[in-house]
Copies of this chain bind each other. A is one copy, B any other.
Amino acid sequence: MQEPAPDQHPAITGAVELLLGSGGKRLRPALVFLSARLCGADPDVALFAAAGVEMLHTATLVHDDLIDGSLMRRGAETLNARWSPAATVLTGDYLFARAAYWVARTENTRLVQRFAETLMVICNGEIRQMFDGRGKVPSFQEYEQRIYAKTASLIALSAESGAILAHTDEATIAAMRTYGERLGLAFQVVDDVLDFVADERTLGKPVGSDLRQGLVTLPVMLFLEQSGDHPALHRILHQGSSDPTVQEAVRAIAASPAIERSLQIARDYIREAKEALQPFPPSEYRAALLDLADFVVRRQF
């Protein structure tokens, strides 16, 4: 899927190779393939959908890193760390186009529509976070909505893709979608936990990056619920952050019960994800999807 498009500028080819070659977990394409196998979709067509989701995911990362000013991802420099904002914006746009191109190759208009809707949900969530989110402690419902938009919506789409391509009944599409949505919510909660407890080298980016940007995630919410207030956190949320303050807050939260309580919520999501697969008869593909769910809460990176 990395074959260059006709007349593709060498700078883009280089960027695409860099971005897609830099590793990452490939969770979304894996979900598309497993979902396609489980539901009986043509694997050749699923390949287009898998390329589409991974490309769409990469496009959103390119713009996110630019917006957040992130310089490292997956242990490598981000595109915006090397390129001008203008070139980074355009490369992200190009990747959106490539994503749309691959999804269109499935010749399944329902899937194309679901892709477009998902990108709308993702952008809308980002804009909401930007206008409403910084330094504010969300309710649990607001937090769940935010991580749905940011992460779970695309993972849900990946999981339902196979069912849509296989033209199964609506109940099967809904079950695959629920599996993906719950998996995606768990995935983001674990991401938010890792931002406090991970080893920077394994994580491939600095810890505490959400807090540094004034973004309040589940571990912070649960920490505040238990501790009432904390001087370092208070300064970060009300007056902006300095690096020693962020490190102090990260250490306090990492050592608190808020981490285990967050992981318990992730495990609850995973239980719901697995339950959604119960209607499917046992098969190696169903087993793989169940294993994948367990991996999401056990991972260290």
CA distance A94 to B126 in the complex (A): 10
Contacting residues, chain B, for A93 (C-beta < 8 A): 60, 63, 92, 96, 119, 123, 126
Judged by a CB distance under 8 angstroms, whether A277 is at the interface is: no
Which residue of B is nearest A95, CB measured?
B123
Judged by a CB distance under 8 angstroms, whether A143 is at the interface is: no
Contacting residues, chain B, for A86 (C-beta < 8 A): 66-67, 130
User: Is the CB–CB distance between A90 and B104 below 8 Å?
Assistant: no
Q: Which residues 72-129 of A sit at the B interface, judged by CB distance below 8 A?
A: 84-87, 89-94, 96-98, 100-101, 103-109, 112-113, 115-117, 119-124, 126-128
Smallest CB separation, A196 vs chain B (Å): 25
Smallest CB separation, A165 vs chain B (Å): 13
Contacting residues, chain B, for A96 (C-beta < 8 A): 93, 96, 119
Smallest CB separation, A152 vs chain B (Å): 14
Q: How large is the interface on A (under 10, 10 to 19, 20 to 34, 35 or more residues)?
A: 35 or more
Smallest CB separation, A130 vs chain B (Å): 6
CA distance A54 to B11 in the complex (A): 28
Judged by a CB distance under 8 angstroms, whether A8 is at the interface is: yes
Choose among B87, B94, B109, B117 the residue that contacts A112 (Cβ–Cβ < 8 A).
Answer: B109
User: Is the CB–CB distance between A90 and B123 below 8 Å?
Assistant: yes
Contacting residues, chain B, for A128 (C-beta < 8 A): 9
Judged by a CB distance under 8 angstroms, whether A171 is at the interface is: no
User: Is the CB–CB distance between A119 and B91 below 8 Å?
Assistant: no
User: Is the CB–CB distance between B123 and A94 below 8 Å?
Assistant: yes
CA distance A169 to B131 in the complex (A): 49
User: Is the CB–CB distance between A12 and B124 below 8 Å?
Assistant: yes
Most buried by B among A7, A63, A107, A127: A127
Smallest CB separation, A144 vs chain B (Å): 13
User: Is the CB–CB distance between A104 and B113 below 8 Å?
Assistant: yes
Top 10 A-B pairs, shortest CB-CB distance: A97-B119, A101-B116, A100-B116, A94-B123, A104-B113, A67-B86, A97-B120, A104-B112, A107-B109, A93-B123
Residues on A facing B (Cβ under 8 Å): 5, 7-9, 11-12, 60, 63, 66-67, 84-87, 89-94, 96-98, 100-101, 103-109, 112-113, 115-117, 119-124, 126-128, 130-131
